Amino acid sequence: MKLKTERPRYVLDSSAVIALVRREQGWEKVEAALEHSVISAVNLTESMTKLVRQGGEPRLVERLLRDLGLEVIPWDEELAWASRDLCPLAWTNSISFADRACLTLARHLDLAALTADSEWKKPSHGVRVSMFREGRHK
């Protein structure tokens, strides 16, 4: 694991982690951003859940995700309150809790959210969104 000396630039969405692990379209862009990225504990859990659901053995999935060397940011009370104005995105744009956790952390840290979900560019939520592949391939 490399020691990070620079300020992070991205908060990874689970779509980015899954694309990287499974070598899906756009994984190279995620790999290039990896050492400049963090992830919320919520999105790490979502990534792990999806990879296991897709047939990954839980302990192997854990090892793969740990080996990425990502800094995992806990979902705490401060972030929970910071997410309050993103709540309407759940019913207006079908943006899940994990997606809102990623957006909240990105906004809180003033970083870009790295995702494959083009729907994130539509709502006005004050978060920079960087796409690692075009289209909604989440």
The per-residue pLDDT for range 87-121, each reduced to its tens digit, is 998 888 888 999 999 999 999 999 999 999 988 88
What tokens does 61 get? 């999935």
CA-closest candidate to residue 101, choices 30, 47, 31, 62: 47
pLDDT score of 122: 75
Q: Is pLDDT of 60 > 80? A: yes
User: For 10-131, which CATH class?
Assistant: alpha beta
Is pTM beyond 0.75? Reply is: yes
What phi and psi values does residue 115 have, to the nearest 5 degrees? Answer: -150, 170
pLDDT band of residue 68 (cuts 50, 70, 90) is: very high
**Residue 85: Cβ-neighbour burial (10 angstroms; 0-12, 13-18, 19+):** exposed
Q: Which of 2-6, 36-40, 112-116, 124-128 has the lowest mean pLDDT?
A: 2-6
